[in-house]
Amino acid sequence: MVLPLMKLGTLALKTLSKPIAARLKKEAGLHPKFRHLIISMAQANHRMTTTMQRRLYGHATDVGIRPLNEEKAVQAAVDLLGEFFVFSVAVAALAFEVQRSARSEAKKEELRRQEMEKLRQRDEALEKEMEGVKSKIQELEQLAREKGLAGMFNLRHPYVKEGKTATPA
């Protein structure tokens, strides 16, 4: 019951992160200092992606790359910021799920270890009991050899009269 609720909660968190990211994108472009920071971040990202594309297509990379205009830079940066936020939430949810799974596996492993310990203790107890039975059997065999089996149990052959020995048939 807990697992489906956890999965549902994770899915709800991912779904809720999208409107939060949209709100974050909207607010990010309004603050002047933050706006300047994200514009420089967007320009750096633009230069890097353009250079990578030129290398992939085999074009010259030593030419100048025109910077984005301010509005395009802000839009690119807030889009990147929104996607980063959604990605971060997904990574956090994944990390939580992996950690929960690892704890579950550790509990299972501990239960297996305890079960193996119980079996080992039971095996040792049975081994001790078997040693005790073996020693009793050896004692009985020794007594039987010393007194003879008939003497130990005070058995007499029914067809043998006192003082006579039985003859095998």
Does a structural domain hold residue 2?
Answer: no
Does a structural domain hold residue 106?
Answer: yes
Does a structural domain hold residue 4?
Answer: no
Q: pLDDT digit of tens for each residue in the chain (169 aa)?
A: 556 666 777 777 777 777 877 777 777 767 788 888 888 888 898 899 999 998 888 888 778 888 888 888 888 888 888 788 888 888 888 888 889 889 989 999 999 999 999 999 999 999 999 999 999 999 888 887 777 655 555 555 555 555 555 555 4
Does a structural domain hold residue 46?
Answer: yes
Structural domains in the chain (count): 1
Does a structural domain hold residue 56?
Answer: yes
Whole-angstrom Cα distance, residue 16 to residue 24? 13
Q: Measure Cα distances from 119 to 34, 107, 126, 129, 131 in Å.
A: 64, 18, 10, 15, 18
Does a structural domain hold residue 98?
Answer: yes
Parent domain of 100: 12-115
